[in-house]
Amino acid sequence: MIQSAGKVISNRSVKPGYYLMAVKCPAVAKKAKPGQFLTIRCGNGTTPLLRRPFGFHRISASGFEILYERIGKGTAFLSGLKPGDEIDVLGPLGNGFAIPRGKKDFVILAGGMGVAPLASLAESLVRIKKAEVCAIIGARSEKALLCEGHFKNIGIRTLVATDDGTCGKKCFATDVLNDFLEAKQRLRPVIFACGPGPMLKAAAHISKKRGLECHVSLEENIACGVGACLGCAIKTRSGYKLVCKDGPVFNAKEIIW
Amino acid sequence: MVKPNLKVKIGGLELRNPVIAASGTFGSGEEYKDLTDLGSLGAIVTKSVTLRPSEGNPPPRVVETPSGMLNSIGLQNDGVDAFIKDKMPFLSKVKTAVIVSIAAHSVNDYAEIAGKLDRIKKVDAIEINISCPNVKGGLEFAREPGSAAAVVAKVRAASKKPLITKLSPNVKDITEIAMAAEDAGSDAVSLVNTFTGMAIDICAKRPVLGNIVGGLSGPAIKPIALRMVWETAKKIKIPVIGMGGIMGYEDALEFIIAGASAVEIGTANFVNPKAAADIIAGIEKYMLQEKIKNIKELTGCLRT
Ligand SMILES: Cc1cc2nc3c(=O)[nH]c(=O)nc-3n(C[C@H](O)[C@H](O)[C@H](O)COP(=O)(O)OP(=O)(O)OC[C@H]3O[C@@H](n4cnc5c(N)ncnc54)[C@H](O)[C@@H]3O)c2cc1C
Ligand SMILES: Cc1cc2nc3c(=O)[nH]c(=O)nc-3n(C[C@H](O)[C@H](O)[C@H](O)COP(=O)(O)O)c2cc1C
């Protein structure tokens, strides 16, 4: 991990309320892996005070992108940044997605903003020889559906579910997952999931029932981000673990939901 | 002009400068080794350690509040034996003073932990945390002069290390507790620990923290902490270590002018891992500008 100045290259709204920011920051990008995260100091004041965590949406040698939703003071600050502005970046933090060796079949399960860190994972997965990757994206409505085009562009079969039926099937992403696994019984895919707690819990349940390996990326309120304050604890079968240091990616069977 | 002298003395312990990383906000230092020069700090206070392992409170454990944060970590740690085995090897190599914070539910436990640490060479001092608001009974020792004195006296008997007693602001009169700690043999006092507080999620109508209540830290508490340091420094002869919401060198100087011999940096480490290093540089620059040769000239120089 390193604390480094990043330079905003671009920062645009991809849909109302959702932004994609590209940052030049080779020191952090060089070490970053899909599933790890970074924190950004949002301004110099005392409100917001704590750094805000974001997943690496895309990673290159010279920088990274974050995909974020404007929901409060910190993300409002970020959404106002212009190309050329400098930001204080700390990363990469935590452990990324561990891709099991020898596996060829993968399912990416994204709910809401959970899609953000899964794009860089998808790019790694498609580079594996003969890999079959399927992405299932769930969102509240078409207005909050992100990355569908990106997944399709890199050649991934992409299924969509929305709560209100404005795009794809009108159901939960985990319903689509169930149907997919039911139809492809001979497949033993590894599932990578990121999204709201209830979705991850359902994904953990489905994968347990079918005996599939499932990795989930979790969120908790983060203060230090480096494992010092013990603030982002979650309950696991081996006691409390830290989202920032032991995660954010965990094997779903480890988590006590 | 010559480099100003930033050295301060806490009991028998000399610190390179008066800027210390606060307990619970800097882990055991190792977490920050890639992010800041640990050797530049005056000292590191480690996360409070208890006699036996303690798993801590249910999540969520932290939440931001206006200009501050609440935490209810609940003293999660692996116990003093594991601390000595797992954390001391790294700390033994750091080129800064190591102050180990201890917490307990009974006077005897405090003494037992202190006794174990007394045998470890690289433990430069002990901070007695009698003020943790996040564990059942954690505040009891800090509330009354008598119980505070009992803890300090027992630890004093168990250890020859310099002792710093960390005080709670959640008391009627913090100066009385400070005087009791001084009389019982403490070499210094540090203040303040966090203020008990809470936050509520109005949609769920539930407390935000798993533990319902937590401790407030950060800039929001600074003016109150400063007032307490000022009042306390007037009443005791042993050094006062001030903290509460210090974000920059100006805040640190306010505490020093109010009477603090040294300061601890807590929440600011989360915001900027180089906060303590920046504060040291800022104090030095201020002293050069103001032509102050020795930091001791600043301690308690408040004009009223
Ligand atoms: C490891 C990790 C990776 C993340 N990656 C991304 C990402 O790639 N893209 C992205 O948009 N967001 C991501 N988040 C969430 C993001 O950190 C928060 O949305 C952000 O901190 C909100 O800051 P704010 O100041 O705008 O909102 P605040 O003012 O802090 O909060 C506004 C409202 O949002 C709620 N809120 C705050 N934090 C969260 C949270 N973590 N989850 C759900 N609700 C929250 C608050 O309760 C409050 O009601 C990630 C979080 C973690 C822990
Ligand atoms: C997450 C967190 C954990 C803390 N843990 C401890 C602890 O274990 N022992 C202790 O004496 N103080 C602990 N504190 C209190 C700090 O050391 C300090 O007294 C307090 O935060 C006020 O300073 P600040 O405003 O600079 O943070 C903790 C504070 C925070 C924010």
pLDDT in tens, B85-128: 999 999 999 999 999 999 998 899 999 999 999 999 999 999 99
Residue B2 pLDDT > 90: no
pLDDT in tens, A6-43: 999 999 999 999 999 999 999 999 999 999 999 999 99
Q: Is the distance from the beta carbon of residue A34 to the nearest atom of ligand 1 less than 6 Å?
A: no
Q: Do B64 and A221 touch (CB under 8 A)?
A: yes
Spatial neighbors of B304 by CB under 8 A, at least 6 apart, are none
pLDDT in tens, B16-39: 999 999 999 999 999 999 999 999
Q: Do B271 and A50 touch (CB under 8 A)?
A: yes
Q: Are residues A153 and A225 in the same domain?
A: yes
pLDDT in tens, B209-242: 999 999 999 999 999 999 999 999 999 999 999 9
Catalytic residues of B: 132
Residue B140, pLDDT score:
73
End position of a domain, from candidates A36, A67, A93: A93
A90 touches chain B (CB under 8 A): yes
Q: Are residues A247 and A185 in the same domain?
A: yes
**Owning domain of residue A143:** 105-254
Ligand nearest to the CA of A76: 1
Residue A146 Cα to ligand 2 middle (Å): 40
Q: Are residues A139 and A86 in the same domain?
A: no
Residue A183, pLDDT score:
87
Spatial neighbors of A103 by CB under 8 A, at least 6 apart, are A189, A190
Query: Which residue is listed with tokens 């504060």?
Result: B279
Residue A129, pLDDT score:
87
A52 touches chain B (CB under 8 A): no
User: How many structural domains does chain B have?
Assistant: 1
Q: Do A233 and B56 touch (CB under 8 A)?
A: yes
Specify which residues A67 forms β-bridges with.
A20
Distance CA B271, CA A229 (A): 12
- The DSSP bridge pattern shows strands A37-41 and A52-55 to be antiparallel
Residue B191 pLDDT > 90: yes
In a domain, A37, yes or no: yes
End position of a domain, from candidates A66, A93, A120: A93
Residue B22 CA, closest ligand 2 atom number: 17
In a domain, B81, yes or no: yes
Q: Do A228 and B271 touch (CB under 8 A)?
A: no
C-alpha triplet A8, A14, A18: angle, nearest 5° = 85
Asked if B245 and B68 touch (Cβ cutoff 8 Å), the reply is yes
pLDDT band at residue B136 under the 50/70/90 scheme: low
Specify which residues A11 forms β-bridges with.
A21
In a domain, A120, yes or no: yes
Residue B133, pLDDT score:
63
Q: What is the CATH number of the domain that holds A193?
A: 3.40.50.80
CB contacts of B50 in chain A (<8 Å) are none
In a domain, B212, yes or no: no
pLDDT in tens, B29-74: 999 999 999 999 999 999 999 999 999 999 999 999 999 999 999 9
> Quick one: DSSP state of residue B3?
P
In a domain, B189, yes or no: yes
- DSSP structure string for chain A: -EEEEEEEEEEEEEETTEEEEEEE-HHHHTT--TT-EEEEE-SSSSSS-S-EEEE-SEE-SSEEEEEEE--SHHHHHHHT--TT-EEEEEEEESB-----TT--EEEEEEEGGGGTTHHHHHHHHHTSTT-EEEEEEEESSGGG--SHHHHHHTT-EEEEEETTSSSSEES-HHHHHHHHHHHTTT---EEEEES-HHHHHHHHHHHHHHT--EEEE-----SSSSSSS--SEEEETTEEEETTTT-BEEEGGGB--
In a domain, A9, yes or no: yes
Distance CA B80, CA B116 (A): 8
In a domain, A58, yes or no: yes
pLDDT band at residue B284 under the 50/70/90 scheme: very high
Residue A257 Cα to ligand 1 middle (Å): 20
* Mean of the per-residue pLDDT values of chain B: 95
pLDDT per position in chain A (257 positions), as tens? 999 999 999 999 999 999 999 999 999 999 999 999 999 999 999 999 999 999 999 999 999 999 999 999 999 999 999 999 999 999 999 999 999 988 999 999 999 999 999 999 999 999 988 889 999 999 999 999 999 889 999 989 999 999 999 988 899 999 999 999 988 888 899 999 999 999 999 999 999 999 999 999 999 999 999 999 999 999 999 999 999 999 999 999 999 99
In a domain, A114, yes or no: yes
pLDDT band at residue B135 under the 50/70/90 scheme: low
Of B26, B27, B63, which has the smallest distance from its Cβ to A221's Cβ? Answer: B63
Distance CA A76, CA B296 (A): 44
Share of chain B above pLDDT 70, in %: 97
Ligand nearest to the CA of A47: 1
End position of a domain, from candidates A48, A69, A93: A93
Q: Are residues A112 and A203 in the same domain?
A: yes
Token pair listed for B187: 């070499």
Asked if B95 and B39 touch (Cβ cutoff 8 Å), the reply is yes
Residue A75 Cα to ligand 1 middle (Å): 8
Residue B1 pLDDT > 70: no
Q: Do B34 and A2 touch (CB under 8 A)?
A: yes
Higher pLDDT, B175 or B136: B175
Which residue in A207, A202, A206, A177 sits closest to A190, CA to CA? A207
Which residue in B219, B218, B226 sits closest to B174, CA to CA? B226
User: How many structural domains does chain A have?
Assistant: 2
CB contacts of A231 in chain B (<8 Å) are 61-62, 71, 73
Q: Are residues A141 and A30 in the same domain?
A: no
Mark out chain B residues that contact chain A at CB-CB < 8 A.
Answer: 24-27, 31-32, 34-35, 47, 55-56, 58-64, 66-69, 71, 73, 76, 218-220, 247, 267, 269-274
In a domain, A98, yes or no: no
A43 touches chain B (CB under 8 A): no
Q: What is the CATH number of the domain that holds A87?
A: 2.40.30.10
**Owning domain of residue B26:** 8-56+75-195+218-297
What angle do the packed helices B222-235 and B249-258 form, to 10 degrees? 30
Distance CA B61, CA A234 (A): 10
Q: Do B267 and A49 touch (CB under 8 A)?
A: yes
Of B47, B60, B67, which has the smallest distance from its Cβ to A47's Cβ? Answer: B67
Q: Are residues A118 and A69 in the same domain?
A: no
Q: Is the distance from the beta carbon of residue B191 to the nearest atom of ligand 2 less than 6 Å?
A: no
Mean pLDDT of B195-221: 97
pLDDT in tens, A85-100: 999 999 999 999 999 9
Q: Is the distance from the beta carbon of residue A55 to the nearest atom of ligand 1 less than 6 Å?
A: yes
Interface of A with B in 92-121 (CB under 8 A): none
Q: Is the distance from the beta carbon of residue B222 to the nearest atom of ligand 2 less than 6 Å?
A: no
Residue B285, pLDDT score:
97
In a domain, B1, yes or no: no
Residue A56, pLDDT score:
97
CA distance B22 to chain A (A): 11
Q: Are residues A235 and A205 in the same domain?
A: yes
Q: What is the CATH number of the domain that holds B153?
A: 3.20.20.70
In a domain, A192, yes or no: yes
Q: Are residues A131 and A77 in the same domain?
A: no
Q: Do B61 and A226 touch (CB under 8 A)?
A: no
Question: Can you say whether the dihedral through the CA atoms of B119, B121, B127, B129 is positive or negative?
Answer: negative
Spatial neighbors of B303 by CB under 8 A, at least 6 apart, are none
In a domain, B291, yes or no: yes
